[in-house]
Amino acid sequence: MIKRLKAQLFKSPYIFVSLLVVPLSGFFLYARYSASEFFIFLTGSLAVIITYLIYEYVSLGHRQAAISLERGECEERFNLLQVEIIRERQANNSLQLKITNYSLLKDLTEKLCASFSLADTAQIIAADANAVYRQEEMTVIVYFLKGTLGEVSLAASLRAQNLLNLKAKRGDLYDQWVIKNLKPLLIEDTKNDFRFDPEQIRNEDGRSVRSLMSVPLSVVEKMIGVLRVDSSQEQRFSTEDLRFLNTVGSIGAVALENAQLYERVEDLAIRDSLTGLYLRRHLMERLTVEISRHLRSDEELSFLMIDLDHFKKYNDKFGHTAGDIVLKTIAMILTNMFNQPGQIVCRYGGEEFCVLLPDCSKRKAGQLAEDVRKRIEAQTIILRREKTHISVSIGVAAFPRDTHTKEELVQKADAALYEAKASGRNQVAMASPSESFRTKEEK
């Protein structure tokens, strides 16, 4: 209670002065007119009061200093708490971002595990990388490495989750830098980066690239491709963005390598190891699809069966290695002559080959067969420094003119082939049409 009264007293200086002045004035008048010896008491009282005031003043200064110090400490603690709150918010935001990114990586891994196609895998990588950067001006590009010369080809390109058709299919200096150095690349502003000359950057698409980040798609220093994100605005990417993109690239590179291996194994399962031509199993699968398609159209499907004449003599005279050379040469000629979309060249077995010709009439197939027969006959093959030539016999059949099923189509072409051989070899024979499909002229 006393402390509260003293605090109120010192807070009101007028009351305090009044309480001192009024008694002192009374004592002074009393000593002046009644008892002069009272001045000694008055002097002592003043000395006591002054001493007390000095004490209170000093105490007040100490209390003010303590309050000021405590206030400073409170402000310091407040500032520290604010800094801690900001750090906690940043940590929380960073944690949420990491959770989001890890969720994206989890989804990416699951999608890639279910993809065995090289093109689909590249599209998945581009789509998931693009999901992180949804700005309209950002472009995600995936390049494949071709051969050993460092050339790249476009595999996938997206902008804001939409497919983007880029005219520049082989990358630029930035992509070549990543391939050459096998390191990630981050450029905050392409106009201020001393490593690259803007005048040498040829942008065939007319896109303005001001900032970009790019990472190599590699597995144990084996370069597979490049994953790149660029923007038309500067200062769009940070080192944290590059670090996450590098993680996506590392996962994607393994998936791309697996897809390449899968396609290679799948290709080996349907292709002949010697000639590189398709095998009979793949031919029959394609034949089923093509016959189903031609049943719904008015076009004919033609089929050539080709057999090398006297091939056993080449093996006996020059050896099996020379025979392999002949088979490779014939395969090369057939591949070069039948290279239109849909046309399939297969090694049927041994020295037999066959050609599937969709949307091709029997008459035209006969002309093509005669052309390829002449081309093979004119081909010079050098075996053990000896120039030699080889000839082929060819049987031609067509669907639905000659047959009703794929098995019968192959049988008809094979029968025509043996007819060509029986007639003296090195010629083309046409299969006889089925009765229900014979024209009036043929009947």
| pLDDT tens string 312-330 | 887 778 887 888 889 999 9
Same domain, 181 and 210: yes
Say what angle helices 280-295 and 406-422 make with each other, to 10 degrees.
110
The C-alpha atoms of residue 15 and residue 348 are separated, in whole angstroms, by 122
Q: Which of 351, 370, 377, 408 is catalytic?
A: 351
What's the mean pLDDT when you consider all of the chain?
82
Assigned domain for 274 exists? no
pLDDT band at 152 (very low <50, low <70, confident <90, very high): confident
What percent of the chain is modeled with pLDDT above 90?
A: 23
Burial 388-401 (b: 16+ CB within 10 A, else e): eebebbbbbbbbbb
Say what angle helices 38-113 and 239-270 make with each other, to 10 degrees.
10
Q: Which pLDDT score is estimated for 370?
A: 94
Last residue of one domain, picked from the residues 238, 267, 296: 267
For the purposes of burial, counting CB atoms within 10 Å of the CB of 104, is it exposed (0-12), middle (13-18) or buried (19 or more)? middle
Report whether pLDDT(90) > 90. no
Two structure tokens written together for 11 = 């807070």
More confident residue, 119 or 42: 119
Lowest mean pLDDT among 103-117, 285-299, 384-398: 103-117
Q: Which pLDDT score is estimated for 13?
A: 56
Same domain, 329 and 409: yes
Beta-bridge partner residues of 146: 151
Beta-bridge partner residues of 381: 388
Assigned domain for 349 exists? yes
Same domain, 132 and 107: no
* Cβ neighbours of residue 165 closer than 8 Å, sequence gap 6 or more: 157
Assigned domain for 126 exists? yes
Last residue of one domain, picked from the residues 83, 114, 145: 114
Same domain, 125 and 249: yes
Same domain, 47 and 138: no
Place of tokens 């008048």: 29
Same domain, 56 and 182: no
Same domain, 133 and 237: yes
Q: Which pLDDT score is estimated for 397?
A: 94
The C-alpha atoms of residue 358 and residue 393 are separated, in whole angstroms, by 21
Residues 410-418: contacts with CB within 8 Å, 24+ apart? 410/287, 410/303, 410/305, 410/354, 412/303, 413/303, 413/304, 413/305, 413/354, 414/305, 416/305, 417/305, 417/306, 417/307, 417/393
Give DSSP secondary structure letters for 57-73: HHHHHHHHHHHHHHHHH
Beta-bridge partner residues of 430: 396
Same domain, 288 and 364: yes
Q: Which pLDDT score is estimated for 61?
A: 81
Residue 351 catalytic?
yes
Q: Which pLDDT score is estimated for 262?
A: 83
Assigned domain for 152 exists? yes
The C-alpha atoms of residue 126 and residue 158 are separated, in whole angstroms, by 7
Distances (CA, A) of 11 to 18, 60, 67, 134, 286: 14, 11, 16, 63, 104
pLDDT in tens, 27-85: 666 666 666 666 677 677 777 777 877 787 788 888 888 888 888 888 888 888 888 88
Q: Which pLDDT score is estimated for 440?
A: 36
The C-alpha atoms of residue 104 and residue 248 are separated, in whole angstroms, by 9
Q: What is the mean pLDDT of residues 333-351?
A: 91
Contact 226, 214 (CB under 8 A): yes
Our CA angle for 310, 313, 314, nearest 5°, is 100
Range of the domain at 190: 118-267
pLDDT band at 221 (very low <50, low <70, confident <90, very high): confident
Closest CA to 372 of 329, 310, 407, 402: 329
Same domain, 224 and 307: no
pLDDT band at 374 (very low <50, low <70, confident <90, very high): very high
Q: What is the mean pLDDT of residues 365-375?
A: 94
**Residue 301 belongs to domain with CATH number:** 3.30.70.270
The C-alpha atoms of residue 346 and residue 352 are separated, in whole angstroms, by 9
Q: Which pLDDT score is estimated for 37?
A: 67
Same domain, 206 and 259: yes
pLDDT band at 226 (very low <50, low <70, confident <90, very high): very high
**Residue 234 belongs to domain with CATH number:** 3.30.450.40
pTM of the shown model: 0.56
pLDDT in tens, 164-182: 666 566 778 888 889 888 8
Assigned domain for 442 exists? no
Assigned domain for 249 exists? yes
400 cis-preceded (ω within 30 degrees of 0)? yes
Report whether pLDDT(354) > 60. yes
Q: Which pLDDT score is estimated for 396?
A: 95
The C-alpha atoms of residue 439 and residue 245 are separated, in whole angstroms, by 66
Q: Which pLDDT score is estimated for 71?
A: 87
Looking at residue 128, the DSSP 8-state letter turns out to be H
Q: What is the mean pLDDT of residues 183-191?
A: 90
Count of domains for the chain: 3
Last residue of one domain, picked from the residues 90, 114, 138: 114
Same domain, 295 and 389: yes
Residues 260-268: contacts with CB within 8 Å, 24+ apart? 260/118, 260/224, 262/116, 263/116, 263/117, 263/118
pLDDT in tens, 384-408: 778 888 899 999 999 988 888 888 9
Assigned domain for 273 exists? no
Same domain, 402 and 296: yes
pLDDT band at 18 (very low <50, low <70, confident <90, very high): low
Q: Which pLDDT score is estimated for 8?
A: 53
Assigned domain for 272 exists? no
pLDDT in tens, 138-151: 888 899 887 666 67
Q: What is the mean pLDDT of residues 14-24?
A: 63
